[in-house]
Chain A
Amino acid sequence: DGGITQSPKYLFRKEGQNVTLSCEQNLNHDAMYWYRQDPGQGLRLIYYSQIVNDFQKGDIAEGYSVSREKKESFPLTVTSAQKNPTAFYLCASSSGQADQPQHFGDGTRLSIL
């Protein structure tokens, strides 16, 4: 089945530690996205990539980093510079065409130890 796989489902971070969230898609989509979801707030865009080896900052990129070395993969690193990392992180992909929807994975919940 085609889809988006995020791992792990739950992740715990210690103070001063960087952690990496995985996102893989087999939909042959060009564009991929990372969102953060907090209770009572809408999805906020962290980073997005329209094509391999290129990515742009979203609305809340500070404290996060990404890479896009392969079309299928778009990992997100939450660095120690992100002071409030506890949230539900969602990865999405789309064909990149403006009239096409984004499709989402089932998220990673990150908590601080």
Chain B
Amino acid sequence: EDQVTQSPEALRLQEGESSSLNCSYTVSGLRGLFWYRQDPGKGPEFLFTLYSAGEEKEKERLKATLTKKESFLHITAPKPEDSATYLCAVRYTGANSKLTFGKGITLSVRP
């Protein structure tokens, strides 16, 4: 069964303390890996799409990378406003446009 696993479940950082969030997947035939940010009571907001191993995308303090088995979301010098739940989703070959989501990582950044 195709699965997406995110770790850790929760992460608490001090403002300015850089770290990484992990998303590992077991799907074969990856068509795309998607990162989203979700604030409480809101819908997920699209951040990045990665398609092939070695690819990297950046946006402000966030940088997403992809290998053949996992993706990392690196957060450099985070601020309290980066506090949110970060979701990873995978689309695999033959799934049409369907996504398989991980359970998410709740990030809390203390000032």
Please report A residues at the B interface, Cβ cutoff 8 Å.
4, 6, 31, 33, 35, 40-45, 48, 50, 58, 90, 92, 94, 96-107, 109
Contacts and interface: CB of A to CB of B under 8 A. Distances in A.
A104 B43 contact: yes
Interface stretch (B12-20, B72-80, B97-105): B97-105
A99 B103 contact: no
Interface of B: 4, 31-32, 34, 36, 41-46, 49, 51, 87, 89, 91, 95-99, 101-104
A103 B89 CA distance: 13
Nearest to A105: B43
11 contacts: A35-B101, A41-B103, A42-B103, A43-B44, A94-B97, A97-B97, A99-B51, A101-B34, A102-B97, A104-B44, A104-B45
Nearest to A104: B43
Contacts of A107: 41-43
A91 to B, nearest CB: 8
Given A42-B4, A50-B96, A98-B91, A106 B42 contact: yes
Contact of A96 (B34, B95, B97, B101): B97
A37 B104 CA distance: 11
B28 to A, nearest CB: 15
Contacts of B42: 106-107
A42 B31 contact: no
